[in-house]
Amino acid sequence: MMSRAGLASSLLLAGTLAGGAAAVRAQEPAPLPRPADLSADEWRSNVKGTQEFQRRLKEELEAAKGDRAKLTSLLVETTARIQNVERQLMDLEARVGTLDRNAERIRASLVARKDVLAEVLAALMRMGRQPPPALLMRPDDALDAVRSAILLGALLPELRVEAETLAADLSDLTRTRTELMAARTTLTLLRNSLEEDRGRLSALVEERQRRQAEDNPLQSADKAQATSLARTSGDVHDLVTRLETEVAPSARAADAAKSAPAAAPGAKADPAALKNTARLAPAMAFSEAKGLLPLPVAGVSLKGFGAADAVGGHEKGVTFATRPGAPVSAPADGWVVYAGPFRSYGQLLIINAGGGYHILMAGMERITVELGQFVLTGEPVAVMSGAPNSPAPRAVANGDKGSGAAIGQPQLYVEFRKDGVSIDPAPWWVVTDRQKVRG
């Protein structure tokens, strides 16, 4: 027969379960407010915030007026900040996805077991409220009570295990919901920061291109000639060769690249040289920049150099999954020799980095630099699509489980070439602390 201690323990577990369930209900996140739900004070606060942002942006542009180095510094810093926030968002969105799946798994487990547990706990609670009947006055009732007690006594150990498991599940669900609320709050803050910086970057890029048009106006005939060559060239090597000999801005860029710093035997590049935003030529020879170049986007590698491709060959470059609308930065100093559509590449950007090296980037929605323009490492040169370019389902590539990048997200293709031959870009990328942690 069940002891009073066993019954009390089971009732205590029942109370724990009920309290846990109440806590979970109390921590359900409130829905995000829709614009129509905002009060007048909140709308005024939003407008005031927008006005403050516009004021700060105007001050930044005024401070950089006539100062190319200052404007370029703002461009590089803003792009780097956006890419850092995008990396945080990718990690956090993946974390939210994991927490959501965990919460759903726990809820499903609770639902699957609630009926059986409710019946047994109800019986235990009834026994606690109703004392056993008198043996002499109501023997039939007493016999039923004894039989029930014997049955419940046999079930009690199993019941305790089930109840303790359920209590642990409720505790996990409460913790998960708390983490979800904190993560979603952080997501909102990061997204607001990203939106503001994207607005700032757009204004800075517009100002840069306005100055570029004033100082080095691109002739419509040169642009038309480059477009025509792109339509009639058979491959990228043919396109680059013709551009750098037949189109004036590209030819000037190629000539400038030939006078770029040459690699010195045994010399080591100075990373500090990349911080000089007033430079008008590469800070170092491209071959000396190994281990110093930042990735052009915040994203996850989907396809590596040399991997098997879909037509039985091998990848000549690397492909990154990015967030929609992500800014694309120049991986290295160099001159733009082509910016526009080309065959299956879509929008193609080609940068001459000097020393016979060219950098190709494709998959962007919009290119924000012009033929002949000199760009610095980390300077924004394009923008990714605001929507996925593939309907593929969400999937993490190359074992990067912390990022949550999706194959269905916009994809940037990057290829390094030396004298027209594709080379592995891996030795050039800088290894960040984030990559060290992930191995």
Dihedral over Cα of 362, 368, 374, 375: its sign? negative
Which range (152-156, 334-338, 419-423) has the least confidence? 152-156
8 A C-beta contact, residue 142 and residue 133: yes
Fold of 219-438: Glucose Permease (Domain IIA) (2.70.70)
Q: How far is CA 248 from CA 68, 355, 430, in A?
A: 24, 20, 34
Higher pLDDT, 166 or 289: 289
Instruction: Label residue 192 left, alpha or beta by phi (over 0 means left) and psi (-120 to 50 means alpha).
Output: alpha
Radius of gyration (C-alpha) of the chain in whole angstroms: 32
3-state secondary structure of 334: strand
Helix (H, G, I), strand (E, B) or coil at 391: coil
Q: How far apart are CA 31 and CA 33, in angstroms?
A: 6
Write down the pTM of the prediction.
0.76
More confident residue, 48 or 418: 418
Task: Compute the residue count for the chain.
Answer: 439
Contact criterion met (CB below 8 Å) for 388 and 325: no
Greater confidence (313 vs 327) lies with: 327
CA dihedral 193, 194, 196, 202 (to 10 degrees): 160
Q: Is 304 exposed, middle or buried (0-12, 13-18, 19+ CB in 10 A)?
A: middle
Domain ranges of the chain: 4-213, 219-438
Burial-class residue 204 by CB neighbours within 10 Å (0-12, 13-18, 19+).
Answer: buried
Contact 48, 198 (CB under 8 A): no
Which residue from 170, 174, 166, 168 is spatially nearest to 117, judged by alpha carbons?
166
- CA atoms 29, 33, 39, 42: torsion sign: positive
Contact 304, 315 (CB under 8 A): yes
Place of tokens 């016979």: 356
Distance CA 246, CA 340 (A): 16
End-to-end CA distance of the chain: 59
338, 311 Cβ separation under 8 angstroms: no
Tokens of residue 343, six digits: 């065959």
125 confidence band (pLDDT: 50, 70, 90)? low
Mean pLDDT (whole number) for 53-77: 82
| pLDDT band, very low/low/confident/very high, at 164 (cuts 50, 70, 90) | confident
Average pLDDT for 232-259: 93
Selected residue with higher pLDDT from 107 and 394 = 107
DSSP string for residues in 130-197:
SPPPPTTT-HHHHHHHHHHHHHHHHHHHHHHHHHHHHHHHHHHHHHHHHHHHHHHHHHHHHHHHHHHH
Lowest-pLDDT range of 60-64, 179-183, 399-403 = 399-403
Residues facing residue 346 across a β-bridge: 342
> What are the C-alpha distances in Å from 436 to residues 355, 379, 426, 431, 432?
30, 25, 15, 7, 6
- Answer yes or no: are the C-beta atoms of 366 and 347 closer than 8 Å: yes
Distances (CA, A) of 206 to 76, 200, 317, 381, 390: 14, 10, 30, 12, 29
* pLDDT (mean) for 405-416: 81
pLDDT digits 0-9 by tens, 302-320: 989 988 887 888 889 999 9
Contact 324, 82 (CB under 8 A): no
Average pLDDT value for residue range 219-230: 94
Q: How many CA atoms lie within 13 A of 311 on its CB side?
A: 2
Please name the residue that has the structure tokens 């074992």: 399
The predicted pLDDT at position 42 comes to 52
Strands, E, within 171-279: which ranges? none
Distance CA 281, CA 258 (A): 11
